[in-house]
Amino acid sequence: MKDVIIATKNRGKAKDFETLLAPYGIRVLTLHDVAEDLDVEETGDTFHENARLKAETVAERLGKIVIADDSGLAVDALGGRPGVYSARFSGEGATDEKNIEKLLGELKDVGDEDRTARFICVLAVAGPGLQTRYYEGTCEGRIMRTPAGENGFGYDPVFYVPNEERTMAQLTPEEKAAVSHRGEAIRRLEEDAGELFGAAD
């Protein structure tokens, strides 16, 4: 079993990675396992910049290859907001529930046709002697008027996936992995995985 370090403290995100990487016999370690004290400030204004900050800071600290994920929700009716501010959308002490409440409030007068949105995920891979690399994925959908579903995390209960005719939170972890922004980004990273992480054993 091979270990891969994901520079995140988000347990929902970590679960997504576990589902995505389990087929390769990879065990996911997070900051909770390898550097609980480390808090990387996300001071960038792009997903790439924040993914880079998280990956390079943790890679430097550990002297190992790590993957960081910076991701968020871009809503067309809000001009692409909350974007890189998705995790902090409802301000100080933000939670997934408060963020969803704020989002639904801002969209309450927006008609069904105009509720289009996408999830965006940028993975950065950094490590000793490695030029940081990036892998991106997106997932198109629409914002619901009320939450539905218990799976996933973040905005999943209000993100309707048209092809699946359900919200992201109504998909199983494997179904989400097949259609999500994070899944797409990981499949792009897969092409370099042998070189970056060595052959899976």
Ligand X SMILES: O=c1nc[nH]c2c1ncn2[C@H]1C[C@H](O)[C@@H](COP(=O)(O)OP(=O)(O)OP(=O)(O)O)O1
Residues at the contact surface with Mg ion, assessed by CB under 5 A: 87
Q: Give least dist CB 200 to ligand X, A.
A: 24
b/e per residue, 28-53, with b = 16+ CB within 10 A? bbbbeebbeeeebebeeeebbbbbbb
Q: Which stretch binds ligand X (CB under 6 A): 20-28, 71-79, 105-113, 125-133?
A: 71-79
148 vs 87, 91, 155, 159, 192, CA distance in Å? 20, 24, 10, 9, 36
Was 43 annotated as part of a binding site?
no
181 touches 119 (CB < 8 A): yes
**Any known ligand binding at 182?**
yes
User: Is 66 or 144 the residue whose CB approaches Mg ion more closely?
Assistant: 66
The answer to whether 105 is a known ligand-binding residue is no
CB closer to ligand X, 43 vs 131: 43
Question: What tokens appear for 31 in the block?
Answer: 């900051």
First-residue to last-residue Cα distance in the chain? 6
The Cα–Cα gap between 83 and 75 comes to 8
Residues assigned a catalytic role:
70
Pick one of 127, 147, 152, 183: the residue that binds ligand X (CB under 6 A): 152
Among 4, 8, 103, 115, binds ligand X (CB under 6 A): 8
Residues 17-36 that bind ligand X (CB under 6 A): none
Q: Was 63 annotated as part of a binding site?
A: no
> Which residues, other chains included, contact 36 with Cβ-Cβ below 8 Å and sequence gap of 6+?
none
* Amino acid (one-letter) located at 92: E
- Region 109-148 residues binding ligand X, contact defined as CB under 6 A: 119
Rule CB under 6 A: which residues touch ligand X? 8-10, 13, 42, 69-73, 86-87, 99, 119, 152-156, 168, 180, 182
Q: Which residues make up each annotated binding site for Mg(2+)?
A: 41, 70
Q: Which residues make up each annotated binding site for substrate?
A: 8-13, 71, 153-156, 176, 181-182
